[in-house]
């Protein structure tokens, strides 16, 4: 959800008006919540039927075929697996490669377009061996929790910058000015205030995150509880840590 909220601008920027982006976001996030609930109910059902909580779809489909190797079951498993395959491909193309390709293209627009950036994102994604993240339920949950730790502050910072600093006014021409004449140039092209605000929002949650990944690392109960609230605290700290600056667009 957090990742989708951040990358939705890659598509809403093509909207004809701001109101055109509201309906898809309002409708699109609801099925995600429903699918999460259905996933929880399915795992609870596997505990009773198979004697173990099968959190992985691959494990669930394997258990179904092993328990009842009939032709009907194999056909059902095939179509279910094919559906999940299409879901993962669509999710990665729409949610990851487009965002990654857009970001990389914005860094080196002279040499890399969005398509090349997408291909580079795919190769980098394979290089980090993401399948190891699915090797166990504990690792998977820890990785999913890391999204809130590292991404939630971005949302708070972006909202603070747009509503508080810029006061909902943007000078579009300066978005394409790559020198100190533009108000968005800041210091050598980097808004250090946003960087510091992000570090301030992420740092308090790192000890708790490390403990969930490696239980041998011991932290206090308060630090661990702060990590559990990272979705809320990261947003609030990031939003309130971004100091206003003088280069605000005047009326």
Q: pLDDT tens across 88-139, in order?
A: 888 888 778 888 888 888 888 888 998 899 899 888 888 877 777 666 656 6
Beta bridge partner(s), residue 187: 190
Mean pLDDT for the stretch of residues 12-17: 80
Q: How many residues does the chain have?
A: 251
pLDDT for 248:
46
**On the CB side of 31, how many CA atoms lie within 13 Å of its CA?**
5
Of 114 and 249, more confident:
114
pLDDT for 249:
45
* Per-residue pLDDT tens over the stretch 188-227: 888 888 899 999 999 998 898 888 777 788 888 888 888 8
Q: Check pLDDT > 90 for residue 75.
A: yes
Distance CA 246, CA 162 (A): 14
Closest-CA residue to 209 (of 234, 182, 240): 234
pLDDT for 2:
65
Cβ contact 175:13 at 8 Å: no
Distance of CA 213 to the CA centre of its chain: 19
Distance CA 220, CA 158 (A): 31
Question: What is the pTM (predicted TM-score) of this model?
Answer: 0.70
Beta bridge partner(s), residue 190: 187
Neighbours of 94 (CB within 10 A): 14
Q: Is 197 helix (H, G, I), strand (E, B) or coil?
A: helix
Phi (first) and psi of residue 86, to 5 degrees: -60, -35
C-alpha pair distances (Å), 220 with each of 19, 33, 212, 214:
46, 32, 13, 15
Cβ contact 157:198 at 8 Å: yes
Least confident segment among 52-56, 65-69, 83-87, 121-125? 52-56
Closest-CA residue to 7 (of 87, 119, 118, 84): 118
Q: Check pLDDT > 80 for residue 48.
A: yes
* Per-residue pLDDT tens over the stretch 153-175: 888 888 888 888 888 888 888 88
Which 8-state DSSP code applies to residue 52?
S
Mean pLDDT for the stretch of residues 226-246: 78
Of 128 and 242, more confident:
128
Distance CA 152, CA 1 (A): 10
Locus of tokens 């509503």? 163
Cβ contact 108:178 at 8 Å: no
Distance CA 40, CA 162 (A): 37
């Amino acid at each position: 959800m957090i990742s989708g909220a951040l990358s939705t601008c890659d598509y809403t920027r093509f909207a004809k008006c701001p109101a055109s982006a509201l309906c898809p976001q309002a409708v699109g996030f609801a099925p995600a919540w429903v699918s999460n609930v259905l996933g929880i109910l399915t795992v609870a059902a596997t505990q009773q039927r198979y004697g173990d909580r099968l959190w992985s779809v691959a494990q669930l489909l394997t258990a179904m075929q092993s328990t009842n190797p009939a032709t009907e079951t194999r056909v059902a498993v095939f179509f279910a697996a094919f559906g999940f395959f299409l879901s993962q491909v669509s999710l990665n193309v729409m949610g990851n490669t487009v965002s990654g390709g857009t970001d990389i293209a914005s860094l080196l627009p002279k040499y890399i377009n969005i398509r090349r950036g997408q291909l580079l994102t795919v190769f980098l994604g394979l290089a980090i061996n993401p399948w190891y993240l699915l090797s166990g339920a504990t690792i998977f949950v820890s990785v999913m929790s890391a999204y809130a730790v590292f991404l939630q502050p971005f949302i708070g910072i972006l909202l603070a910058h747009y509503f508080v600093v810029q006061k909902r006014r943007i000078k579009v021409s300066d978005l394409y000015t790559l020198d100190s004449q533009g108000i968005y140039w800041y210091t050598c092209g980097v808004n250090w205030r946003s960087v510091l605000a992000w570090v301030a929002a992420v740092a308090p949650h790192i000890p708790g995150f490390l403990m969930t990944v490696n239980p041998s690392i011991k932290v206090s109960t308060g630090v661990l509880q702060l990590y559990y609230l990272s979705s809320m605290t990261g947003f609030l700290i990031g939003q309130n840590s971004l100091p206003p600056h003088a280069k605000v667009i005047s009326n």
